[in-house]
Amino acid sequence: MSEPINFYDLNQNGLTEFVVAAGHQKFRAKQLMKWVYHQGITEFSAMTDLSLAMRAWLAESVCFDLPEVVHHAVSKDGTAKWVVRLASGNCVETVLIPEKSEGRVRNTLCVSSQVGCMLDCTFCSTGKQGFNGNLSTAEIIGQVLIANQMLAERNEAVTNIVFMGMGEPLLNYEAVMAAADLMMDDFAFGLSKRRVTVSTAGLVPAIHEMMGRTDMSLAVSLHAPNDELRNGLVPLNRKYPIKELIRVCSDYIESLGERRSMTIEYTLMDGVNDKLSHAHELAELLANVRCKINLIPFNPFPGSGFKRPSMNRVRAFQTVLMQRGFATMLRTTRGDDIDAACGQLVGQVQDRTQRQARYREHLKAGRTAAQTRRIAAKELA
């Protein structure tokens, strides 16, 4: 007997192939999905519209393993965070951000897609953890199920999902795409494509691959209006410079039609990328791009070497962009009392890259993250 397959690893296509390969009819996949995702039933014996033979086969071939919650915290502002342990023993974090506006509830879930991150953006604490592998589709979907379980207590559910937790989702392409399929599938979570967003530091070839594969929304972590500045903040930029990145994003957005637009994320760091001249340069750069801009005041972590700008500076930056016609939102800091704000997600990563250990050593020696990186680059050279 082969290992059972994890139900939550399969999107509708995958599940259909799986049941068909075992000699069952194609529509059984949809029936199964309705039981599991709509009714919350994972006991095959209760699935009365399936034959006894099929139920017996399923019981032997399918499991419903989910990551285990090892820590849960709720912030003063209602933001909730879970630390979940994966099959590999590593832990990642998931954050739920509830908002109420005009009587409507929005529950945005920020999911992790990798254990740590390979990209090592200078201002992000996840990068400092090093990297230890990809999450499976089931481990991503598990995060949604865990949040929904808590929300069900108040008759609510996750309404929006952003791949803005730990990791670079487009470096875990297949698992992330399958998870996104399930999030947007009416037989599973049924969220609108406008409410499921993948966020990337700018993996150009993967954005290209998304065309025709998915119609989920796209956010790009830009953080700088020119290559010189961005090279120092997002090392990936040296491989895929801004022009190429903006071009492929525009192509993707246009491929979706229907007046879709993308999100530009811009973390503001005091004296680094928050000058008014940067705002004007950004406006020039994005002049022909269908986008809205999300400004994120930098969230500090020990030894980062960066500071959050004053609220005045943040507002001034926002004003320039708004005056130049860009819908520009300020992402208010949520959940920082439970270390759940952007760039504060660290999980517990058994680091394979030694970056974590090196970073800790340098912290002890009183060096900043930027200095640490420079030293590390020299060590590697």
What is the set of active-site residues? 93, 342
Q: Does 201 bind ligand SAH (CB under 6 A)?
A: yes
Q: How far is CA 358 from CA 11, 22, 204, 304, 365, in A?
A: 39, 50, 29, 14, 11
Q: Which of 33, 111, 124, 286 binds ligand SAH (CB under 6 A)?
A: 124
For ligand SAH, give the closer residue by CB, 83 or 201.
201
291 binds ligand SAH (CB under 6 A): no
Q: How far is the CB of 117 from ligand SAH (least distance, A)?
A: 6
CB of 55 to ligand SAH, least distance (A): 40
Contact call for residue 326 and ligand SAH (CB under 6 A): no
Report how far residue 177's alpha carbon sits from residue 326's, in angstroms, rounded to the nearest whole number. Answer: 29
User: If binding is defined by CB under 6 A, does position 158 make contact with ligand SAH?
Assistant: no
CB atoms within 10 A of CB 374: 12
From 21-29, 198-206, 247-255, 273-281, span contacting ligand SAH (CB under 6 A): 198-206
Stretch that binds ligand SAH, among 70-78, 83-91, 196-204, 273-281 (CB under 6 A): 196-204
* DSSP string over 18-83: HHHHTT--TTHHHHHHIIIIIT----GGG-TTS-HHHHHHHHHHEE---PEEEEEEE-TTS-EEEE
Q: Residue 162 Cβ, how far from ligand SAH at the closest point, in Å? A: 8
Q: What is the DSSP letter of 375?
A: H
Question: Closer CB to ligand SAH, residue 28 or residue 373?
Answer: 373
37 touches ligand SAH (CB under 6 A): no
Q: Can you read off the two tokens belonging to residue 90?
A: 């590593």
First to last CA, the chain: 49
**Cβ of 280: how many Cβ atoms within 10 Å?**
14
x/- mask, ligand SAH, residues 294-313, rule CB under 6 A, reads: --x-xx--------------
Regarding 44 and contact with ligand SAH (CB under 6 A), the answer is no
Closer residue to ligand SAH, CB minimum distance, 142 or 167: 167
Of residues 49-88, those binding ligand SAH (CB under 6 A): none
Q: Does 129 bind ligand SAH (CB under 6 A)?
A: no
Q: How far apart are CA 191 and CA 207, in angstroms?
A: 21
Nearest to 201 by CA among 176, 232, 170: 170
Task: Measure the CA–CA gap between 308 and 38, rounded to whole angstroms.
Answer: 43
Task: Kindly state the smallest distance separating residue 217's Cβ from ligand SAH, in Å.
Answer: 13
Rounded Cα gap, residues 253 and 320, in angstroms: 25
CA distance 177 to 136: 11
Check residue 180 for interaction with ligand SAH (CB under 6 A).
no
Size of the site for ligand SAH (CB under 6 A): 15
The smaller minimum CB distance to ligand SAH, of residues 12 and 197, is found at 197
For binding to ligand SAH (CB under 6 A), which residues are involved?
123-124, 164, 168, 199-201, 221, 265, 267, 296, 298-299, 342-343
